[in-house]
Amino acid sequence: MNDQIAKKAGEYRGFYRSHLLDNVIPFWMNSDLLDKEYGGYITSVDREGKSYNSDKSIWFQGRGLWTFSALCNHYGAKDKWLEAARMGKDFLEKYCVDSDGRMFFQVTRDGKPLRKRRYMFSESFYVVGMAEYACATKDKDALRKAEECFDFMLRMYRNPDADPYKITPKTYAKTRSERSAAVPMVLVSSAQVLRRCAPERAEYYSGIVREIVDDILKYHYRPELECVLENVLSDGSLIDNPAGRTINPGHSCENAWFLMNEAIYSNDGELLQKALNILDWSLQRGWDKEYGGVMYFVDSEGKPCEQLEWDMKLWWVHNEILIATLMAYGMTGDEKYWNWFEKVHEYTFSHFPDKEYGEWYGYLHRDGTVSHTQKGSMWKGPYHLPRCLMLCEELLGMIAEGKQITPVL
């Protein structure tokens, strides 16, 4: 490793830690996030942290639970973090699971059901949140519930017809049966967290991860197109329409570091190379050469994207790329990945942070000007950014100290 880079990594490490613990987490702790009347989290907060919509995202009950639990596991348990985690856990258990075992997508402030979707993302965030909480508190019941929910997800993934809510495909299957890359991606990350939190079942979860990784590589990894396709037919065939040509560089980079994490765990050089390929392709396709930053969607053939927000710059996309580029550099020593890290870091920290009220704006126009000033919504809350800062600090520490990179999930 380059000594100069190791020194800079140490400096970045302190910056990332401070930004997390002195800026981002205090913003959320001092905001209207923690609902002391009904429990759980209100993530729809404005620029200053004041609630503008009290309906609750189930994604963020699980995501917030993960974040506050992970803070305890990374930096030592603090009463305020444990209490914040318990608020999310209790609300999830009391209000967020339907009678059929599936979870809601949105509920009222006091927990009455509003919306339920076909996807399994609510379940996946429940799994990682409950598992991380179990690690922080040694709560065996929380771990049991996380494992049971994951088993439910796995059954639905392996046999979608058994799910009355039809997790996948989104299209009418008799006409066009599709599969989405996002579903196996969250299964991989959920299994990796469970493996760490239930080490006695590590071999079992490693087998599951391998199975799902193989599906990602079989159906979505397309070296002939130099991309990961978000949507393909159920047999992996291409769909020649905008949805079928969609590349989501942020998802692809997140997928890349999940796969790198697995390559590190299993010492799999072939998998590492494929993960690096995904990262390389995504950076080349997604980076905006005119304004900087990474665009939300790209068409694999350069044709028009149908998503109205295709050229926007989103906070979470850049969070995932920061993790991926650091992991890639730490694993390979290839300075192109360090250069990409610094390039994305420079863009990210010069555009997204709110220097007046703290935390980050989530959505920028293509030219980098702010589109939405709120700090939280049904889609944005305390997850991608805190996770990024935690994991980047961990990776930067390994790089600075010249240590071998170890799994971070």
pLDDT of 184 reads: 96
Q: Are strands 313-314 and 231-233 parallel, antiparallel or unpaired?
A: unpaired
* Measured distance CA(333)–CA(16) in Å, rounded: 21
How does residue 22 score in pLDDT terms, banded at 50, 70 and 90?
Answer: very high
pLDDT of 159 reads: 86
Architecture of domain 34-175: Alpha/alpha barrel (1.50)
pLDDT of 178 reads: 87
Distances (CA, A) of 314 to 53, 134, 357, 366, 369: 21, 31, 19, 10, 12
Which phi-psi region, left, alpha or beta, contains residue 239 (left: φ > 0; alpha: ψ -120 to 50)?
A: beta
| Arithmetic mean of pLDDT, 267-274 | 98
pLDDT of 260 reads: 98
pLDDT of 164 reads: 63
Residue ranges of the alpha helices (H) in 76-139? 79-95, 121-137
pLDDT of 177 reads: 83
Q: Which of 181, 173, 196, 187 is nearest to 70 (CA)?
A: 196
Q: Which of 86, 73, 19, 122 is nearest to 355 (CA)?
A: 19
* Measured distance CA(236)–CA(179) in Å, rounded: 8
Give every CB contact of residue 44 below 8 A, 6+ residues apart in sequence: 51, 52, 53, 54, 55, 57, 374, 376, 377, 378
pLDDT of 119 reads: 81
Summarize pLDDT for 311-346 with one digit per residue, the tens.
Answer: 999 999 999 999 999 999 999 999 999 999 999 999
Give every CB contact of residue 277 below 8 A, 6+ residues apart in sequence: 223, 226
Summarize pLDDT for 237-247 with one digit per residue, the tens.
Answer: 999 999 999 99
Summarize pLDDT for 163-222 with one digit per residue, the tens.
Answer: 666 555 567 677 888 899 999 999 999 999 999 999 999 999 999 999 999 999 999 999
pLDDT of 44 reads: 97
Number of Cβ within 10 Å of residue 403's Cβ equals 11
Can you say whether the dihedral through the CA atoms of 273, 277, 278, 279 is positive or negative? positive
pLDDT of 118 reads: 74
pLDDT of 97 reads: 94
Give every CB contact of residue 343 below 8 A, 6+ residues apart in sequence: none
Summarize pLDDT for 71-114 with one digit per residue, the tens.
Answer: 999 999 999 999 999 999 999 999 999 988 889 999 999 999 99
* Measured distance CA(258)–CA(408) in Å, rounded: 9
Q: Are strands 298-299 and 246-247 parallel, antiparallel or unpaired?
A: antiparallel
pLDDT of 389 reads: 98
pLDDT of 370 reads: 98
Model pTM score = 0.97
Summarize pLDDT for 33-71 with one digit per residue, the tens.
Answer: 999 999 999 999 999 999 999 999 999 999 999 999 999
- Residue type at 181? A
Q: Residue 313's Cα: distance from chain center in Å?
A: 16
Axis-axis angle for helices 58-75, 121-137 (nearest 10): 30
Q: Identify the burial level of 51 via C-beta atoms within 10 angstroms of its C-beta, where 0-12 means exposed, 13-18 middle and 19 or more buried.
A: middle
How does residue 160 score in pLDDT terms, banded at 50, 70 and 90?
Answer: confident
- Residue type at 165? Y
Please say if the pLDDT value at position 405 is more than 60. Answer: yes
Give every CB contact of residue 355 below 8 A, 6+ residues apart in sequence: none
Q: 113 in helix, strand or coil? A: strand
Report the chain's mean pLDDT, rounded to a whole number: 96
Distances (CA, A) of 403 to 6, 15, 76, 406: 10, 20, 22, 9
